[in-house]
């Protein structure tokens, strides 16, 4: 399951989640503004900003269309 860590008022978070929604990719959205227990563990991993996308193959922060396209491509392969 893909996890996307977001926070309130984050434009890059909105763009990331909308990209996944538009491409019919299922994901779990975890809002660290509403679930602050996740924020410290993400900081411990070295992350300083959201969105943070975690897949079974990789993880990254920021709005990354190149990596999101790869996620969409892998997701379509699984559905075939």
3-state SS, one letter per residue, for 52-70 = EEECCCCEEECCCHHHHHH
pLDDT per residue over 10-48, tens digit each? Answer: 999 999 999 999 999 999 999 999 999 999 999 999 999
Q: How far apart are CA 4 and CA 13, in angstroms?
A: 8
Structure tokens belonging to residue 39: 């924020």
Pick from 39, 10, 16: which is nearest to 28 by CA?
A: 16
Q: Which two tokens stand for residue 40?
A: 């410290």
Whole-number pLDDT of residue 74: 87
CA 1 – CA 9 distance, rounded (Å) = 24
Percent of the chain whose predicted confidence (pLDDT) is above 90: 88
pLDDT digits (tens, 9 = 90+) for 40-77: 999 999 999 999 999 999 999 999 999 999 999 988 77
What structural domains does the chain harbor? 2-78 (3.40.30.10)
Q: Which helix (H) or strand (E) is 33 found in, with range?
A: none
């Amino acid at each position: 399951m893909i996890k996307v860590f977001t926070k309130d008022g984050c434009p890059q978070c909105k763009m990331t989640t909308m990209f996944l929604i538009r491409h019919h990719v299922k994901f779990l959205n975890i809002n660290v503004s509403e679930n602050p227990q996740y924020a410290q563990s993400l900081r411990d991993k070295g992350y300083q900003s959201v969105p943070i996308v975690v897949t079974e193959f990789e993880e990254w922060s920021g709005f990354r269309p190149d990596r999101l396209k790869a996620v969409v491509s892998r997701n379509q392969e699984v559905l075939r």
